Amino acid sequence: MRRAIVALLLVLLAVLLLPYLIAPFYRAGHPVSALMAWRWITGAPVSRQWIDFNAISPSLPRSVVASEDTNFCRHHGVDWGALREAIDDAQEGERLRGASTITQQVAKNLFLWPLPGPIRKLLEFPLALWIDLVLPKQRILEIYLNIAEWGPSGQFGANAGAMYAFGHPASALAPRESALLAAILPNPVKRSARIPGPGVRRLAGTYAARAQAAGLPRCWTENRAF
């Protein structure tokens, strides 16, 4: 019995350490998310055409950072300030809002998707810190833009999302189109950039203004070759 428990603990430890071993190798290649893999296994449709970061319209990463993680260039995987603000708001009875960074979402999408929320969050924080340490900011953002779900029927990544919503690739996105795509995250099933409702249009206007004001952050433009 004791041997079985030890063996089980060793297997669990190996499973927990595996993402830390794999993450440094994602400096290259075309990673897929756990949800994409699950859909392939179950026979659900998946559409994803990888697009390199330098080929993506610059307005898209600007809009996504403006909508998802305004401190992306300043934090190291976890935005502790935004997290404290979210906790304070929840304690004061305000509506619970997300404080996940883009790096945390990369960790979740690549490795932790099937896990229940509290367990996933516990594992997500250290893994996001590790990913930020071993991968350049530009690469983290490139992976996110290529694994995020951007359509209601298995459209993953910016290219598939742009083709579904606007009929052209992510390289040809206009700033308004990029803002609309950013506005449907993280729920492209209920929100649509193809036929945007008033709420999506309002969010897109906000994100477009933020993106324009922010310009091109240095953390992903100072070392474009990585």
The dihedrals phi and psi of 156, each to the nearest 5 degrees, come to -115, 140
Q: How far, CA to CA in Å, does 81 sit from each of 68, 190, 219?
A: 15, 29, 19
3-state SS assignment for residue 47: strand
- What pLDDT is recorded for position 88? 66
Answer yes or no: are the C-beta atoms of 159 and 46 closer than 8 Å: no
- Both tokens of 126, joined, read 């250290």
Q: Which residues contact 166 (CB under 8 A, 6 or more apart)?
A: 173, 177, 193, 194
Going residue by residue through the chain (226 aa), what tens digit of pLDDT does each one get? 777 787 777 677 777 889 999 999 999 999 999 999 999 999 999 999 999 999 999 999 999 999 999 999 999 999 988 888 767 655 555 544 457 899 999 999 999 887 777 888 889 999 999 999 999 999 999 999 999 999 999 999 999 999 999 999 999 999 999 999 999 998 999 999 999 999 999 999 999 998 888 766 667 765 443 3
- What pLDDT is recorded for position 222? 53
